[in-house]
Amino acid sequence: MGDPNLTYDKQAISVDCVVFGFDGKALRVLLTRRRRSLPSGEEVVDPKLPGSLISDNEDLLSAADRVVRDFVGVRSIYLKQMEVFSDPQRVQGNELSWINTHYGVELSRVLTVVFFALVKLDEKLLTHTKRRGGEWVELNDVRRLALDHNKILVSAIDHLMHLFHQEPIAFEFLPKKFTMRQLQNLYETVLDIEIDNRNFRKKMLALDYIVEVGEKENSVAHKPAQFYFFDKKKYDREYKKIFKLSSVYK
Amino acid sequence: MGDPNLTYDKQAISVDCVVFGFDGKALRVLLTRRRRSLPSGEEVVDPKLPGSLISDNEDLLSAADRVVRDFVGVRSIYLKQMEVFSDPQRVQGNELSWINTHYGVELSRVLTVVFFALVKLDEKLLTHTKRRGGEWVELNDVRRLALDHNKILVSAIDHLMHLFHQEPIAFEFLPKKFTMRQLQNLYETVLDIEIDNRNFRKKMLALDYIVEVGEKENSVAHKPAQFYFFDKKKYDREYKKIFKLSSVYK
DNA sequence: TTACTTAGCGTAAATTTAACGCTATTGAAA
DNA sequence: TTTCAATAGCGTTAAATTTACGCTAAGTAA
């Protein structure tokens, strides 16, 4: 072999993280900003997904964790690899100059491994994000992002919708104690559908890994609801292994 | 920023391909062999998954396609990214020396993007594979592989089983015309379960994208079966978009 | 001719889903 | 104080789907 097209000295790998959160009404994604000067001398600020080149001795998950933790303060519970974007032309021209300036290297190409993270938004986390220059933007309000980050975001949203049908990830978004209403609102928002309240409740309560806490809401302008929590251990024991054989395959 | 741990001059990216086929009885995976000399002078031949470092101007899918096509002769219909293996120590010592010798480069680290492919095994393909030094090994017969390829294979098998529940990928394994028995055998093999013949048939025939060809088997030692084919266009039109909202989420 | 194997049609009970009625409890508005 | 708006929460029923089987048909091989 010994392919003449291989030089390997200018490729680098980055991680970019799509971090989703739910504010009770809408899905939000974590964005940061990139400041750069155009050749014209003009300064532009492009919103982008948080990311970083990886260090020589770092695996991808650690790198992604480093990036996310920088903005949210805590280790995110749900953080997984999604997809690699590898178009040789995905970063070039001004984009590439920015990276070379910013990191002090001379690259001709950057592949990025996209990570997918879910976090529970709370006051502490929001404060931390703000301090670090991050922003939680409603999905509907996301405009043009740097590089190919719009494409990445679209892919991540699709991924999120699919995952919602396959794993109990909804609970990653909600506080430890949540009401059926909160859970339902989340499903309706993420999947963009309306759900019958009575059937939803019946279905969810039939799952023995959703457990009643024994506390109620208070000071709400309607009948106060029970709080529930997600018993992950129970779920892992009973469901993960079997991995739900659908009818035919029985 | 300007992280001092970033040098970027010794990382390379490879693709490794897990290519599955079905021979009517068992699942097989495509393996190749790597010849190398140990420091002792001894020659060893390790079976491994087919793979390659990527060229400077090549995206990952093209690289994977190049690798697979080299062994099977045809462009594989089903070829998708699976997962990146990025442990900084995953390739080191002798393993790394082999790569550096083989490709004529000086690397300290190799990340690999695993691709997942499904092919229809036929005589022509089998001949091609043999000529190129590849082997179709039954999953049960796979022993120690080079590098972290056993780990990669396990992950791919898991991926395959999950995909079987989510997409109609069974048809990627079978000839264009297949019988219900062939389809059922495939399901039973991949998912490692027994299926009631009558219910399986009922379920499959209810899917309007499985269409009767109008031909029958012959020279079989039992009642000859109808051939069917998978109407991918029909499937795409009717099912892919909706992406099957399961009950609760209606 | 018989045995063996798989194809292929059918029935019925059990389970799950989908559609919807109704009452209860809270804070806020009138 | 009464009414209203909003959500909680219990229930019924028909339809659809799944599961477990019984049984006959059509081939080859012994």
The DSSP-derived string for B176-193 is: SSB-HHHHHHHHHHHHT-
Question: Average pLDDT in the B203-225 region?
Answer: 94
Alpha-carbon dihedral sign for residues A23, A29, A30, A33:
negative
Mean per-residue pLDDT of chain A: 89
User: Vertex A184, ends A123 and A115: CA angle to 5°?
Assistant: 60
Chain D nucleotides near the protein (CB, 7 A) = 5-12, 17-23, 25-29
| pLDDT score, position B208 | 92
Q: What phi-psi label fits residue A190: left (phi over 0), alpha (psi between -120 and 50 degrees) or beta?
A: alpha
Q: Which residues of A touch B62 (CB under 8 A)?
A: none
| Residue environment code for B34-62, b if the CB has 16+ CB neighbours within 10 A, otherwise e | bebeeeeeeeeebbbbbbbbbbeebbbbe
Distance CA B138, CA B54 (A): 28
Regarding predicted confidence, which is higher, B6 or B68?
B68
The pairs formed by B148-155 with CB atoms below 8 angstroms and a separation of 24 or more are B148/B85, B148/B87, B148/B90, B149/B16, B149/B48, B149/B49, B151/B85, B152/B16, B152/B18, B152/B49, B152/B85, B152/B112, B152/B114, B153/B18, B153/B29, B153/B49, B155/B82, B155/B83, B155/B114
Residue whose token pair is 């099957």: B244
3-state secondary structure of B30: strand
The highest-confidence range among A47-51, A52-56, A236-240, by mean pLDDT, is A47-51
Give the B window 119-158 contacts with A, CB below 8 Å: none
Residues 121-180 of A with CB under 7 A from strand D: 179-180
Residue B9 has pLDDT above 60, yes or no: no
Residue B57, chain A, CB below 8 Å: the answer is yes
Residue B5, chain A, CB below 8 Å: the answer is yes
Q: Which nucleotide is nearest to A181 (CA to C1')?
A: D7
- How is residue B26 written in tokens? 């068992």
Q: Note the CA–C1' distance, B248 to D9, in angstroms.
A: 18
- How is residue A164 written in tokens? 């919602």
Q: Note the CA–C1' distance, B5 to C20, in angstroms.
A: 63
Residue A197, chain B, CB below 8 Å: the answer is no
The DSSP call for residue B141 is G
Distance CA B234, CA A119 (A): 39
Residue A243 has pLDDT above 80, yes or no: no
Least Cα separation, residue A135 to chain B (angstroms): 20
- How is residue A6 written in tokens? 């291989």
Q: Which residues of A touch B84 (CB under 8 A)?
A: 60, 81, 84, 113
| pLDDT score, position B44 | 86
Q: Note the CA–C1' distance, A219 to C25, in angstroms.
A: 12
> B185 near B193, Cβ under 8 Å?
no
Give the B window 12-51 contacts with A, CB below 8 Å: 12-13
Q: Which of B7, B203, B249 sits opposite A193 (nearest CB)?
A: B249
Least Cα separation, residue A215 to chain B (angstroms): 25
Verify whether the Cβ–Cβ distance A195 to B249 is below 8 Å. yes
Question: Average pLDDT in the A34-56 region?
Answer: 88
Question: Average pLDDT in the B120-142 region?
Answer: 96
Q: Which residues of A touch B5 (CB under 8 A)?
A: 55-58
Q: How many C-alpha atoms does B179 have within 13 Å on its Cβ side? A: 14
- How is residue B3 written in tokens? 């992280």
Give the B window 211-240 contacts with A, CB below 8 Å: none
Verify whether the Cβ–Cβ distance B8 to A193 is below 8 Å. no
Question: Average pLDDT in the B107-113 region?
Answer: 91
Mean per-residue pLDDT of chain B: 89
| pLDDT score, position B244 | 42
**Nearest-by-CA chain B residue for A245:** B165
Taking residue B110's Cβ as centre, other Cβ atoms within 10 Å add up to 24
- H or E segment at A161? helix A149-166
Q: Give A163-196 pLDDT, tens digit per residue.
A: 998 899 999 999 999 999 999 999 999 999 999 9
Distance CA B84, CA B112 (A): 6
The alpha-helical segments, DSSP class H, found in B73-179 are 93-103, 123-131, 149-166
User: Vertex A112, ends A108 and A115: CA angle to 5°?
Assistant: 165
